[in-house]
Amino acid sequence: MRFQEMTMALDRFWADRGCVIAPPHDTEVGAGTFYPTTFLRALGPEPWRVAGIAPSRRPADGRYGQNPYRFQYYYQYQVVLKPSPADVQDTYLASLYHLGIDPLAHDIRFVEDNWESPTLGAWGLGWEVWMDGMEITQFTYFQQVGGIDCAPVSVELTYGLERLAMYLQGAQHAFDVEVAPGVTLGNLREDFERQHCTYNFDHVDADLQRLLFDRFEVETQRLLGLDLVHPAYEFALRCSHAFNLLDARGVLSHTERQGFVQRVRRLTEACASAYLAARTSDAPAEVA
Amino acid sequence: MATLLFEIGTEELPSWFVRQSDEVIGGIVSARLGGAGLEHGAIRSYATPRRLAVLVDGLAPFSERRADVRRGPAASAAFEADGRPTKAAIGFARSNDIDPADLVVEETEKGRYVFARREVGGDPAAELLPALLAGVVDDLPAPRKMRWGDGDAAFVRPLAWLVALLDDAVIPVRYAGIEAGRTTRGHRFLHEGPVELAHAGEYSEALARASVGADRAERKASVIASAESAAAAVDLRLERDGALEDEVTDLVESPSAILGSFDARFLDLPDAVLATVMIHHQRFFPTRERGGDLAASFVAISNNRVPDDRVVRGGYEQVLRGRLDDARFFWDADRRDTLARHAWALAGIAFHKELGSMADKVARVAKATRRLAELLGVSKEEAAVLKQALPLFRADLATQMVYELPELEGTMGCAYARAEGLPDAVAVALEDGVLPRGPSGPLAATRVGALLSIADRLDTVTGFFAIGRRPSGSADPFGVRRAALGALRTLTAQGWRVPLPKVLEAVAGSFSAPVIEDDVLADVERYLWDRVAGLLAEEAVAPMVVRAAVHGSRSVIGAARRAHLLQGLVALPGFADLLTLHKRAANLAKQTGGAARVKPGLFRDPVEGPLHDALPEARRGVERLMAGVRKQLAPWDLGRGPGAELSDLDAAVAEVVRLKAPLDAFFEGVMVMVDDAEVRGNRLALLAEVADALSDLGALSYLEAPGET
């Protein structure tokens, strides 16, 4: 199964189970959890189901494309179901079957994982899903998001698409994964990855990113003052990315790093509270 | 008598919780049944990643009948002058569901009170069990529980189903919106469809047919046996690892072993790296060749019995190869720099914002270690090792390998030092210095390593006390308690008879910012002695004996040895009598107000001389006791108890106890507080010598003779 067929299969599978298939968000994020369709929609009582490919950036994780598994830019497949259904594990296993992975032919385990995102004021409990010793999915029941208790609880499934594709195609490196006939992930991302790694580690202008962080932080607060939650949250995401670039550049001391984490957290928590207060206009249609 | 089955079906539980629950659930059920007055026989527990269950034999059909007596208002407030019950009495009777006329008055220590007495019990078990069993779910302890769906219930992972059967009848337990039934589930992959139970007693057999090994001990035995036989099949020996065996047992319901291998070129990585990657990251068992070398094979325990295990094995091997590739990359990259160069990078790693970087910490530790070495005395060779090891201590914290695999701190310092060609003793000291890794982990074996370990840990304790971050309650975010215990265990195991305050002075002297004030250091010392007391309590030494030993000692090993000596002495009747007399002497002697010398010329009564004459023998006895204890109790890992028991001290004990007769006679025969100041002072001085003669045994005033209150 080619990479794009995989994502299409997952879209089909989750659409059939009542999910909105949302296109990727266009602000840089460290993980699908930062998507407004996850972070903000996990708040409040309204049911919500969303799925889709979620490109993510973690500047510090880049390895210039040398490591088969680690990248500064990669694809997650993100599913959020609110409230978490009682049969979600079975549904998840069915989605693997849908991808051509027969759970009866593999060693699949749900291994304890306690998830926490200090910059999002969020934590949850769940599992890493292991297939034959490889982590292929993170499975989390959100308990708190933006410092607010989740009620009802959402479950988030994050598939590691590159790993799954490598497995399905027998590829030794993510860049060898075939996306479409004759086109590999490497064709799409190799130069991009290498150049961004060089940028992240050696050429990030630290003064510029610090300045941007400061300005974006003020902007987030200003927009919150105008009750413009969605634009405010995007500026909070930009703060988070500026912080990630500074972190990758290696210019933050331990203490300073903690300070940035706290500042991002204060912004995302403020956005969460503001969203919860103002979200009536966003109330979604009944979810199947 | 009936058999009760209660099964809590869940989504996959954390492995530690499966094991912990298997240990405690029987007690929880027993306590609940006992509280409800339901007698029962044996309780068996079952635990897997997807279920916790108990099977209770011989459950009584009805709760026990017994009298329930409750105290009400005072009799004076319960009745009017004419004997009619007051409003208070009527209300009390009503709240206890009895007629006010049935209230009884009884005399108590606090006066006359009204009591309500009624028969309770006799309720059918089937009626009591629904609420009782729901309570069992609540009682299972966990540090953090979660909610799920749109309910309010909280458990470690979402509940999926409940089974509650009393013989063949369903008990309608409700929890988290789930109604208990007779339907359980088999293995997630190896069994299709529900499993119906006709009777509680068929639980484990029915699950076995559904490919679930519900009995944890049996499943663990099967994990070990299948892993061992997989290794033996290719003439390898399984590397046993208790923690891994436990964890793997609780990751599977139906264990089956799969042997896999990796490229032999990875075998030149240090063994500890290979083992850590296999055990901690992949939950694989390493294997060894007959000769003892690590083999390029591993055993994985699968939760699934697949028709063709090549796919699964291939997956295991590919993931392991990725991890070993990473490790190889770090090993090669880290060795491009020497440890001395890595040490420079410690300046960039924070220890704590008020206590500086790791470089600052290591510099303090180096100073403190040198002072301690002077204090304790080291050989010329050890001093040379120390000199080389100090600048490299904890330098491996700056390596990529330790950044990625933090559990290898120290181990990598040792491996990189060896790879650099540094003397073996230096390499070993670098690893020894980070020991012990946990509350029961092994201690530094070398003296140099022990010095580093003690200095490093006491630096942590002292530093955090100085900035007001001492542990409080169970909160210990900086690991201060762990550091303290590690230092004390190491200090004792080395048998260093150096006063604890001296050790702390050496540590405190290495701080420049913050400066360690005397009151902080006194606080640290008290905290450490409290930990010593805690460790001795773990060795089953009685609390009063621990207090006497700790308050009467300057060194930790001294306190530990005294504790075990006194523990034996207080059990001897003769010694206990001596204690009582000694306490009287010590109390009176407090009034001397100085070190007056005894002047035999001032003896006025025939009992004074013999007491004075008996003192040298008593002192000799005490000396012999202490020497005997030092000889017989070799230094040990504090908290685990000395390796030997004390023996052959009778003669020395007799020498001490012989003081009893003249002391007894003295108290019988003379009045101490006579008017003649000279005579009085002389008698007090004599008693002070009596107290002093035994003082080396500990702070005996903390001891109570048996029967004394």
Flag if A134 and B308 touch (Cβ within 8 Å).
no
**Residue A170 and residue A247 in one domain:** no
Rounded-to-integer distance, Cα B6 and Cα B455, Å: 53
- C-alpha A260: how far from chain center: 20
B302 interaction partners in chain A (CB closer than 8 Å)? 107
pLDDT at A281 over 70: no
Task: Tell me whether residue A87 is in a domain.
Answer: yes
**Residue A145 and residue A181 in one domain:** yes
Higher-pLDDT residue of A278 and B13 is: B13
Q: Evaluate whether B697 touches B558 at the Cβ level (below 8 Å).
A: no
Flag if A68 and B306 touch (Cβ within 8 Å).
no
Parent domain of A146: 3-200
B316 interaction partners in chain A (CB closer than 8 Å)? 132-133
A113 interaction partners in chain B (CB closer than 8 Å)? none
Q: How many CB atoms lie within 10 A of CB B272?
A: 17
Flag if B147 and A108 touch (Cβ within 8 Å).
no
**Secondary structure letter of residue B542 according to DSSP:** -
**Secondary structure letter of residue A23 according to DSSP:** P
- Which of the residues B48, B150, B211 would you substitute to probe the A interface, choosing the one with the greatest number of A C-beta atoms within 10 Å? B150
Q: How many CA atoms lie within 13 A of B303 on its CB side?
A: 28
Of A108, A85, A77, A110, the C-alpha closest to A3 is A77
pLDDT at residue number A268: 97
Task: Tell me whether residue A28 is in a domain.
Answer: yes
Of B458, B456, B457, the C-alpha closest to B390 is B456
Flag if B315 and A155 touch (Cβ within 8 Å).
no
Of A113, A143, A108, A142, the C-alpha closest to A127 is A113
**Residue A77 and residue A34 in one domain:** yes
**Residue A83 and residue A221 in one domain:** no
Question: A200, A215, A239: which is the final residue of a domain?
Answer: A200
Three-state secondary structure along A140-155? EEEEEECCEECCCCCE
pLDDT at A127 over 80: yes
**Residue A152 and residue A257 in one domain:** no
Task: Tell me whether residue A122 is in a domain.
Answer: yes
Task: Tell me whether residue A287 is in a domain.
Answer: no
A124 interaction partners in chain B (CB closer than 8 Å)? 146
**Residue A259 and residue A179 in one domain:** no
Task: Tell me whether residue A264 is in a domain.
Answer: yes
Nearest Cα of chain A lies from the Cα of B349 at a distance, in angstroms, of: 7
pLDDT at residue number A283: 53
* CB-based contact, B141 to chain A, within 8 Å: no
A108 interaction partners in chain B (CB closer than 8 Å)? 189, 303-304
Among B160, B284, B312, the residue with its CB nearest the CB of A106 is B312
Flag if A153 and B148 touch (Cβ within 8 Å).
yes
Nearest Cα of chain A lies from the Cα of B300 at a distance, in angstroms, of: 9
Among A86, A108, A132, the residue with its CB nearest the CB of B316 is A132
Identify any residues that bridge with B113 across adjacent strands, giving them in sequence order.
B74, B106
Rounded-to-integer distance, Cα B51 and Cα B137, Å: 12
- Collapse the DSSP code of B110 into the 3-class scheme (helix H, G, I; strand E, B; otherwise coil) and give the result: coil
Query: Least CA distance to A105: which residue of chain B?
Result: B306
Distances (CA, A) of B132 to A143, B127, B164, B255, B576: 28, 9, 11, 34, 50
Number of Cβ pairs closer than 8 Å across A and B?
Answer: 104
- Rounded to two decimals, the ipTM of the complex is 0.93
For A166-204, the DSSP string reads HHHHT-SSGGG-EEETTEEHHHHHHHHHHHHHHIIIII-
Task: Tell me whether residue A10 is in a domain.
Answer: yes
User: What's the pLDDT band for A13 if we cut at 50, 70, 90?
Assistant: very high
Query: How big, in percent rounded to 5, are the helix, strand and coil portions of chain A?
Result: 50, 25, 30
- Which of the residues A107, A140, A155, A257 would you substitute to probe the B interface, choosing the one with the greatest number of B C-beta atoms within 10 Å? A107
Q: Evaluate whether B216 touches B249 at the Cβ level (below 8 Å).
A: yes
pLDDT at residue number A255: 66
Q: How many domains does chain A have?
A: 2
Q: Evaluate whether B281 touches B300 at the Cβ level (below 8 Å).
A: no
Flag if A253 and B348 touch (Cβ within 8 Å).
yes
Nearest Cα of chain A lies from the Cα of B50 at a distance, in angstroms, of: 10
* CB-based contact, B319 to chain A, within 8 Å: yes
Task: Tell me whether residue A67 is in a domain.
Answer: yes
Flag if A133 and B160 touch (Cβ within 8 Å).
no
Task: Dump pLDDT digits (tens) for A194-205.
Answer: 999 999 989 999
User: Can you list the pairs that B671-676 forms with residues at least 24 positions away whose Cβ atoms lie under 8 Å?
Assistant: B672/B588
Of B473, B470, B432, the C-alpha closest to B451 is B432
**Residue A222 and residue A242 in one domain:** yes
Q: Tally the residues of chain A.
A: 288
User: What's the pLDDT band for A35 if we cut at 50, 70, 90?
Assistant: very high
Question: A141, A175, A200: which is the final residue of a domain?
Answer: A200
Extract the tokens encoding A21: 């298939």
Among B148, B306, B307, the residue with its CB nearest the CB of A141 is B148
Q: Evaluate whether B538 touches B547 at the Cβ level (below 8 Å).
A: no
Q: Evaluate whether B163 touches B171 at the Cβ level (below 8 Å).
A: no
Query: Least CA distance to A127: which residue of chain B?
Result: B12
Identify any residues that bridge with B7 across adjacent strands, giving them in sequence order.
B53, B163
pLDDT at A254 over 70: no
Of B580, B665, B565, the C-alpha closest to B623 is B565
Rounded-to-integer distance, Cα B455 and Cα B458, Å: 5
pLDDT at residue number A287: 43
**Residue A20 and residue A87 in one domain:** yes
**Residue A36 and residue A105 in one domain:** yes
Task: Dump pLDDT digits (tens) for B109-151.
Answer: 888 999 998 888 899 999 999 999 999 999 999 989 999 999 9
Query: Least CA distance to A47: which residue of chain B?
Result: B150
Interface of B with A in 201-260 (CB under 8 A): 251-252, 258
Among A114, A133, A152, the residue with its CB nearest the CB of B315 is A133
* CB-based contact, B160 to chain A, within 8 Å: yes
Beta-sheet pairing, A122-131 with A134-145 = antiparallel
Flag if B322 and A68 touch (Cβ within 8 Å).
yes
Q: How many CA atoms lie within 13 A of B315 on its CB side?
A: 26
A125 interaction partners in chain B (CB closer than 8 Å)? 144, 146, 156-157
**Residue A178 and residue A234 in one domain:** no
Helix or strand holding residue A205 (H, E): none
Task: Provide φ and ψ at B176, rounded to 5°.
Answer: 50, 40
pLDDT at residue number B633: 95
Flag if A103 and B189 touch (Cβ within 8 Å).
yes
Question: A164, A182, A200: which is the final residue of a domain?
Answer: A200
pLDDT at residue number B580: 84
Among B158, B251, B319, the residue with its CB nearest the CB of A109 is B251
The list of chain B residues with pLDDT below 50 reads: 707-709
Extract the tokens encoding B427: 């390499």
CATH code of residue A212: 1.20.58.180
Output the average pLDDT for chain A: 93
Among A69, A105, A110, the residue with its CB nearest the CB of B311 is A105
B148 interaction partners in chain A (CB closer than 8 Å)? 83-84, 141, 153, 155
Flag if B146 and A124 touch (Cβ within 8 Å).
yes
Task: Dump pLDDT digits (tens) for B14-53.
Answer: 999 999 999 999 999 999 999 999 999 999 999 999 999 9
Query: Least CA distance to B354: which residue of chain A?
Result: A255
Among A83, A107, A112, the residue with its CB nearest the CB of B303 is A107
Task: Tell me whether residue A147 is in a domain.
Answer: yes
Nearest Cα of chain B lies from the Cα of A150 at a distance, in angstroms, of: 9
For B473-533, the DSSP string reads TTB-TT-HHHHHHHHHHHHHHHT----HHHHHHHHHTT--SS---HHHHHHHHHHHHHHHH
Three-state secondary structure along A70-112? CCCEEEEEEEEEECCCCCHHHHHHHHHHHCCCCHHHCCEEEEE
A69 interaction partners in chain B (CB closer than 8 Å)? 322
Interface of A to B at Cβ within 8 Å reads: 67-69, 83-86, 89, 103-112, 114, 124-125, 127, 131-134, 141, 143, 150-153, 155, 167, 172, 253-255
Q: How many CB atoms lie within 10 A of CB A270?
A: 20
Flag if A151 and B304 touch (Cβ within 8 Å).
no
Q: How many CB atoms lie within 10 A of CB B203?
A: 24
A89 interaction partners in chain B (CB closer than 8 Å)? 11-12
**Cis omega (within 30 of 0) for bond into A83:** yes
Query: Least CA distance to B347: which residue of chain A?
Result: A253
Q: How many CA atoms lie within 13 A of B614 on its CB side?
A: 23
Flag if B306 and A106 touch (Cβ within 8 Å).
yes
* CB-based contact, B322 to chain A, within 8 Å: yes
Nearest Cα of chain B lies from the Cα of A188 at a distance, in angstroms, of: 23
Extract the tokens encoding B458: 């006491």
* CB-based contact, B348 to chain A, within 8 Å: yes
Amino acid at B226: S
CATH code of residue A163: 3.30.930.10
Flag if B312 and A132 touch (Cβ within 8 Å).
yes
Flag if B146 and A125 touch (Cβ within 8 Å).
yes
Distances (CA, A) of B383 to B351, B386, B414, B519: 27, 5, 18, 33
User: Biggest alpha carbon distance in chain B?
Assistant: 102
- Collapse the DSSP code of A262 into the 3-class scheme (helix H, G, I; strand E, B; otherwise coil) and give the result: helix
**Residue A177 and residue A84 in one domain:** yes
Flag if B320 and A133 touch (Cβ within 8 Å).
yes
Of B174, B125, B139, the C-alpha closest to B31 is B139
Amino acid at B634: A
**Residue A152 and residue A210 in one domain:** no
Extract the tokens encoding A48: 């919500």
pLDDT at A137 over 70: yes
